[in-house]
Amino acid sequence: MTPGSIERGEPMTFNRHAATRRELLIASGTLFAWAYLPKVARAEGRDPRLLVIVLRGALDGLAAVAPVGDPDWLALRGDKALTLDGKPPALPLDTFFALNPAMPNLHRLYKSGAATIVHATATPYRERSHFDGQDVLESGLAKPGAADTGWLNRALASLQPGDRAGGSRDAFAIGPIAPLVVRGPAPVLSWTPRRLPPTSDDTVMRLMELYHHTDPVLARVLEERMGLATIARAGGMDGEQPQAAGAGQVRAYFAESAGTAAKFLARADGPRIGALAFDGWDTHAAEGAVSGRLAILLGALDGAIAAIETEMKDAWRETVVAIVTEFGRTARINGTDGTDHGTATVALMAGGALKGGRVVADWPGLKLAKLHDGRDLKPTTDLRAVLKGLLQDHLRVDAAVLATKVFPDSAAVKPMAGLLLRA
Amino acid sequence: MALDPQAQAALALYRFGLGPRTGSIADIASDPRGALLAELDGAGAGRIGTADLLTSGTAARVAFAFQQAQRAARQAERAVQQAAAPSGRASPPQMNDQSVTPPPAPVRNPGPGLPQQIYLAEAKARIQAALGAEIGFLERLVWFWSNHFCVSADKGNVRQICGVYEREVIRANVLGRFSDMLLAAESHPAMLIYLDNTRSIGPDSIAGLRQKRGLNENLAREILELHTLGVRTVYTQEDVTRFANVITGWTFVPFRQDPARGGEFEFNPRMHQPGAQTVIGRSYPDAGVQQGRDVLAVLARHPATANHVAAKLARHFVADEPPPALVERLAKRFLATQGDLKEIAKTLVTAPEAWEAPRAKLKRPGEWVVGMLRAAGMAPPDIGPVMQAHNLLGEPLWRPSAPKGFADESAPWLDGLAQRLDIANQFARRLGAEADPREVFEQALAPLASEETRQAVLRAESRPQALALLFMAPEFQRR
């Protein structure tokens, strides 16, 4: 493929943020002539790719990767607990942890050494606001506050550009708005899918609940128009999930977004660093870890991982996909068969560059006394350690820069070693 | 009504304006009524920047020249094809091209044609005025009267002049006299084309006797039924026919006849039905164009017109079933001031009934879309998505499906609620991290919001979801 070309027939629209005239030219067709390659890594003969996926809404880590070997697990989650003899059975990872059955691709990668899971991990944020939690996760700052740049972008900006392609440093984002994690001084290219994802079932349910409480006329109209007359009334949202209708669309959107990101990252002259965000993980009611809403989302995420592997082709062996979320959820199931905002959760990594096949966890246990605030899985691994480990060993970001600029005031948080095959 | 000052200010912005921007509620909280009245007193109130927009005569002429050139190009292309020779290529004329010489014709993929370019430039100016207004009361009045005297871009050759029609007819008179707005509307080429008066020929006129074509009652009927007296009031079918006779000859200058004035209003005596006409019990001698002006002047001060306009204003701004006391107050003021629209607007916002009605009206699509942009502090560089939202929600700009205009009642707009959710969702995603929902909530909705709405917004799983819920909240949808 020649530099600057775009595959025929591919519906791609580029938006360059803060576009100048020159940048518009790039956006209109010469994108890949400006590719960026980390210089140190290149000197080592490597060409690493890093794709960060942010799960917005707080993923229930215990429902994604269950501690089936923990003696308190069944008592905690009861019939909502993932088990090795469940229907369908959870997928064993080691003698202690098992993966949600909606994620066979991730399981396969794990078994082949190309996936790593970190459990009981969290950012330094200890409150329970989505907006603030997402800011901390994506900004890399220790506390919420006005943040307009993300850690991934600052990491990129700190690197010496490779000499091959003219010195530009492009990050890559999927979606109409670049996630905060990838925004900052380094230029950001973005690609917007032809169709934005449909309004999620979760948003519809929240709106229906609001209308039921405040505006019966609007409630009735929305129910009729959306064919949702069977939705359980608020307060008793334990009825059937109005799912299925959107499941295919969710899968398609996840796969298209992730697959497209991989296509760009795979190209010889493409960007090397990318980010995208998937919404919908805030499972307060009718979580459906095994066969409901969360299972659909995890299945769609699993499909996205598979799409990345496929589209990366040979570059898969130099790839790391890091999947992170702002915080976890309560250890117990709440009164509406869901979980509320919690603290520690999982980080999922996949990619051929990983030294995988491991669950990394300093397991805190699930007994009441071991739970954070008596309700959440206790964080024992700082998520920044994981991310710093990736950035240091995969992209060769300098340790001092990691401690001051990428994750400010994080000198005490040592980069996690040994995540990569070639450290 | 026990509203605190903040809620009173928010109500003013929702009911009479285009919704809060950052700081607006605080800015007017000390005196919401005074702030509404003050918006009527600004210099050049209601006018919008016309420097880069065309007059209706110019717009009509450049569009005509464009169409002529296109026709010529198509003919040339056919000839070229027949001769099997290579074809030339040229770019379409730009709308700032004020010359009337036929511009070079586009051959392939010309993009939006000139009429559409003019239409979009006018639409952009209108949306910018709505986003830039402090409260938006005056813009709402413009929108109301523009809909009352609506024309449609979908009728042939109205597209290029429907936007300028609003500026020349509605904005120019929005705080003037109803009689002046009425005359300006009914004599504007956009209206004359839209309601077929340019085809209407007096049967006994010179043209009528020669062409064997005749009367078209469309404009006369809608003036009586929609623009002035109101349906089933004091007029009969005979009145419609005689009034149609009165306004025969109200048309525009043919482009070929006078290249400098083509497309501008003219009274053509050769099309005018000769003789006196009796309309609603009053005889009007044939005084050419003055005959029609005289009828319009009488209609403009008729008590039925006062009632019709008063009820419509109250229905649009306050309630689908407006308080009779408010309608009566407005109608009285209309008659007492000879239809002084500024005085009537003042009466509307100072009437206690206008503030006491529950906030039950659903915002019209345009109000809602602009309300989102104002709340989020967004000025879209490209009005495409805004126009598309209007289309999806059933209120395409300057394109009503009938001369009655878009409905003032809430019920027809409820149908689009699910579409509103999709648009709110997409809009919120495009805003992404640009807007903090907590801040938007505080600035745009908090004084009117229920605790349930507050919780729904603040507990959303992401900023886009929070914004979508905010924009869909009953308190944001209703006014």
Query: String of b and e for B345-355 (b: at least 16 CB within 10 Å)?
Result: bbbbbebebbb
Position A279 scores a pLDDT of: 86
The whole-angstrom separation of Cα A384 and Cα A123 is 7
Q: Does the pLDDT at position A5 exceed 60?
A: no
Spell out which residues of chain B touch residue A180, defining contact as CB-CB under 8 Å. 433
Asked if B354 and B317 count as a contact pair (C-beta separation under 8 A), the reply is yes
Structure tokens belonging to residue A106? 């991730």
Residues of A with CB under 8 A from a CB of B: 56-58, 130-131, 134, 175-180, 183, 196, 198-200, 202-204, 206-207, 209-211, 213-215, 217-218, 221-222, 225-226, 279-282
Task: Choose the closest CB to A218 out of B425, B462, B474.
Answer: B474
Position A185 scores a pLDDT of: 82
% of chain A at pLDDT higher than 70: 80
Mean of pLDDT over chain B: 92
Q: Do A131 and B469 touch (CB under 8 A)?
A: no
Cα torsion for B184, B187, B193, B199, to the nearest 10°? 170
Spell out which residues of chain B touch residue A217, defining contact as CB-CB under 8 Å. 414
Spell out which residues of chain A touch residue B426, defining contact as CB-CB under 8 Å. 196
Task: Choose the closest CB to A176 out of B432, B456, B473.
Answer: B432
Higher pLDDT residue, A17 or A312?
A312
Task: Choose the closest CB to A206 out of B417, B469, B477.
Answer: B469
Task: Choose the closest CB to B468 out of A130, A134, A203.
Answer: A203
Q: Of A74-88, A264-278, B347-361, where does mean pLDDT reach its minimum? A: A264-278
| CA angle in degrees (0–180, nearest 5) for A228-A230-A232 | 110
Residue of B nearest to A128 (CA): B459
Spell out which residues of chain A touch residue B473, defining contact as CB-CB under 8 Å. 210, 214
Residues of B with CB under 8 A from a CB of A: 414-415, 417-418, 421-422, 425-426, 429-434, 436-438, 450, 452-453, 456, 459-466, 468-469, 472-474, 477-478
Q: Does the pLDDT at position A370 exceed 70?
A: yes
Q: Of A62-71, B126-135, B194-203, B377-386, where does mean pLDDT reach its minimum? A: B377-386
Q: What is the distance in angstroms between the Cα of B465 and the nearest Cα belonging to chain A? A: 7
Structure tokens belonging to residue B89? 């290529």
Q: Given CA atoms B152, B157, B161, B165 in this order, what sign does their dihedral have? A: negative
Q: What is the distance in angstroms between the Cα of A206 and the nearest Cα belonging to chain B? A: 7
Q: Do B432 and A209 touch (CB under 8 A)?
A: no
What digits encode the pLDDT tens for the residues A136-153? 999 999 999 878 899 998
How far from chain centre, in Å, is Cα B353?
26
What digits encode the pLDDT tens for the residues A214-224? 999 999 988 87
- pLDDT confidence of A166, banded at 50, 70, 90? very low
Q: What is the mean pLDDT of residues B305-311?
A: 98
What digits encode the pLDDT tens for the residues B136-174? 999 999 999 999 999 999 998 999 999 999 999 999 999
Instruction: Write out chain B in H/E/C secondary structure.
Output: CCCCHHHHHHHHHHHHCCCCCCCHHHHHCCCHHHHHHHHCCCCCCCCCCCCCCCCHHHHHHHHHHHHHHHHHHHHHHHHHHHHCCCCCCCCCCCCCCCCCCCCCCCCCCCCCCHHHHHHHHHHHHHHHHHHHCCCCHHHHHHHHHHHHCCCCCCCCCCHHHHHHHHHHHHHHHCCCEHHHHHHHHHCCHHHHHHCCHHHCCCCCCHHHHHHCCCCCCHHHHHHHHHHCCCCCCCCCHHHHHHHHHHCCCEEECCCCCCCCCCCCEEECHHHCCCCCEEECCEEECCCCHHHHHHHHHHHHCCHHHHHHHHHHHHHHHCCCCCCHHHHHHHHHHHHHCCCEHHHHHHHHHHCHHHHHCCCCCECCHHHHHHHHHHHHCCCCCCCHHHHHHHHHCCCCCCCCCCCCCCCCCCHHHHCCHHHHHHHHHHHHHHHHHHCCHHHHHHHHCHHHCCHHHHHHHHCCCCHHHHHHHHHHCHHHHEC
Residue of B nearest to A196 (CA): B426
For residue B309, which phi and psi values (nearest 5 degrees)?
A: -65, -40
Mapped onto helix, strand or coil, the DSSP state of residue A164 is coil
For residue A278, which phi and psi values (nearest 5 degrees)?
A: -120, 135
Q: Does the pLDDT at position A238 exceed 80?
A: no
Q: What is the distance in angstroms between the Cα of A213 and the nearest Cα belonging to chain B? A: 7
- pLDDT confidence of B80, banded at 50, 70, 90? confident
Q: Does the pLDDT at position A239 exceed 90?
A: no
- pLDDT confidence of B2, banded at 50, 70, 90? low
Q: Do A206 and B465 touch (CB under 8 A)?
A: yes
% of chain A at pLDDT higher than 90: 58
Test mutation, B382, B430, B434, B461, chain A, max A CBs within 10 A: B461
% of chain B at pLDDT higher than 90: 80
Q: Do B474 and A58 touch (CB under 8 A)?
A: no
Q: Which residue has the tokens 């003019």?
A: B118
Task: Choose the closest CB to B422 out of A180, A199, A218.
Answer: A199
User: What's the burial of A163, exposed, middle or buried (CB within 10 Å: 0-12/13-18/19+)?
Assistant: exposed
Residue of A nearest to B420 (CA): A222
Residue of B nearest to A54 (CA): B462
What digits encode the pLDDT tens for the residues B103-119? 444 445 556 899 999 99
Q: Do B469 and A210 touch (CB under 8 A)?
A: yes
Q: Do A279 and B465 touch (CB under 8 A)?
A: yes
Task: For A295-352, give the DSSP string.
Answer: HHHHHHHHHHHHHHHHHHGGGGGGEEEEEEES--BBSS--TTSS--B-S-EEEEEE-T
Q: Do A202 and B466 touch (CB under 8 A)?
A: no
Q: Do B452 and A131 touch (CB under 8 A)?
A: no
The whole-angstrom separation of Cα A254 and Cα A299 is 10
Position B278 scores a pLDDT of: 97
Q: What is the mean pLDDT of residues A245-251?
A: 75
How far from chain centre, in Å, is Cα A199?
19
Q: Does the pLDDT at position B291 exceed 70?
A: yes
Spell out which residues of chain B touch residue A218, defining contact as CB-CB under 8 Å. 414, 417, 474, 477
Instruction: Write out A97-130 in H/E/C secondary structure.
Output: CEECCCCHHHHHHHHCCCEEEEEEEECCCCCCCH
Residue of A nearest to B466 (CA): A203
Pairing mode of beta strands A345-350, A91-92 = unpaired
Spell out which residues of chain A touch residue B418, defining contact as CB-CB under 8 Å. 222, 225-226
Q: Does the pLDDT at position A169 exceed 60?
A: no
Test mutation, A128, A130, A329, chain B, max B CBs within 10 A: A130
Pairing mode of beta strands A115-122, A381-382 = parallel
Position A197 scores a pLDDT of: 67
Residue type, A89: P
What digits encode the pLDDT tens for the residues B245-272? 999 999 999 999 999 999 999 999 999 9
Q: Do A279 and B450 touch (CB under 8 A)?
A: no
ipTM of the modeled complex: 0.89
Q: Do B434 and A177 touch (CB under 8 A)?
A: yes
Q: What is the mean pLDDT of residues B232-250?
A: 96
Residue of B nearest to A192 (CA): B430
Q: Do A215 and B474 touch (CB under 8 A)?
A: yes
Q: Given CA atoms A64, A70, A75, A76 in this order, what sign does their dihedral have? A: negative
- Name the DSSP letter for residue A90: P
For residue A349, which phi and psi values (nearest 5 degrees)?
A: -130, 140
What digits encode the pLDDT tens for the residues A255-267? 988 998 898 888 8
The whole-angstrom separation of Cα B357 and Cα B273 is 49
Residue of B nearest to A57 (CA): B461
Position A422 scores a pLDDT of: 85
Closest CA to A146 of A185, A180, A123, A182: A180
What digits encode the pLDDT tens for the residues B400-448? 989 999 999 998 899 889 889 989 998 888 776 678 999 999 999 999 9
Q: Does the pLDDT at position B175 exceed 70?
A: yes
Distance (Å) of CA A306 to CA A255, A259, A283, A302 = 8, 8, 24, 6
Q: What is the distance in angstroms between the Cα of A235 and the nearest Cα belonging to chain B? A: 13
Q: What is the distance in angstroms between the Cα of A361 and the nearest Cα belonging to chain B? A: 27
The whole-angstrom separation of Cα A287 and Cα A333 is 9
For residue B312, which phi and psi values (nearest 5 degrees)?
A: -70, -40
**Terminal Cα distance for chain A, rounded:** 31
Residue of B nearest to A227 (CA): B418
Residue of A nearest to B419 (CA): A225
Tally C-beta pairs within 8 A across A and B.
100
**Terminal Cα distance for chain B, rounded:** 15
Spell out which residues of chain B touch residue A200, defining contact as CB-CB under 8 Å. 465
Closest CA to B13 of B29, B4, B2: B29
The whole-angstrom separation of Cα B187 and Cα B393 is 31
The whole-angstrom separation of Cα B25 and Cα B30 is 9
* Contacts of B232 by beta carbon, 8 Å cutoff, 6+ apart: none
Q: Do A218 and B452 touch (CB under 8 A)?
A: no
Q: Of A73-87, B97-111, B189-203, where does mean pLDDT reach its minimum? A: B97-111
Q: Do A279 and B452 touch (CB under 8 A)?
A: no
What digits encode the pLDDT tens for the residues A195-221? 566 788 889 989 999 999 999 999 998
For residue B445, which phi and psi values (nearest 5 degrees)?
A: -135, -25
Q: Do A218 and B466 touch (CB under 8 A)?
A: no
Q: Does the pLDDT at position B50 exceed 70?
A: no
The whole-angstrom separation of Cα B16 and Cα A228 is 34
Strand-pairing partners, residue A191, are A14, A174
